[in-house]
Amino acid sequence: QVQLVESGGGLVQPGGSLRLSCAVSDRTFEISFAAWHRQAPGNQRDMVATITGRNSTNYADSVKDRFTISRDNAKNTVYLQMNSLKPEDTAVYYCQADLMHYSGLYYPNNWGQGTQVTVSS
């Protein structure tokens, strides 16, 4: 497994915005498929957004029209822009990505360390 480094979490008021980042430092890998998941205490882990290697995106109904997943191939980074945040968005957010090595080997299902997002007044 190749480690993904997450950043951008924090405390925001309802209606505020945050942008999460998920970076692959090793430039011998290229991100193909990527996804963001979240999990609150006592809840199951839910997928909130996905992006394919062809930049096709998909969102959970609970975040659609508020969250946007994107990628910057030059920086080897995936982002999650979160707008109009609600208290129910409070959770630990995890990045997941399938990676292609320049050698031609495929490394699926790599994960970030998780970053806390808290939405509260």
The residue among 121, 119, 44 whose CA lies nearest residue 89 is: 119
The residue among 27, 3, 4, 5 whose CA lies nearest residue 101 is: 27
Spatial distance between the Cα atoms of 91 and 97, rounded to a whole number of angstroms: 19
Give the pLDDT confidence score for residue 1 in this predicted structure. 76
Give the pLDDT confidence score for residue 89 in this predicted structure. 97
Give the pLDDT confidence score for residue 2 in this predicted structure. 86
Give the pLDDT confidence score for residue 50 in this predicted structure. 98
Give the pLDDT confidence score for residue 98 in this predicted structure. 96
Q: Supply φ then ψ for residue 57, to 5 degrees.
A: -115, 155
More confident call, 109 vs 2: 109
Q: Could you read off the pLDDT of 47-84 as tens digits, one per residue? A: 999 999 999 999 999 999 999 999 998 899 999 999 99
Give the pLDDT confidence score for residue 54 in this predicted structure. 92
Spatial distance between the Cα atoms of 36 and 59, rounded to a whole number of angstroms: 10
Give the pLDDT confidence score for residue 36 in this predicted structure. 98
Q: Could you read off the pLDDT of 12-55 as tens digits, one per residue? A: 999 999 999 999 989 899 999 999 999 998 999 999 999 999 99
- Kindly report which listed range (2-6, 64-68, 111-115) carries the lowest average pLDDT score: 2-6
Give the pLDDT confidence score for residue 31 in this predicted structure. 95
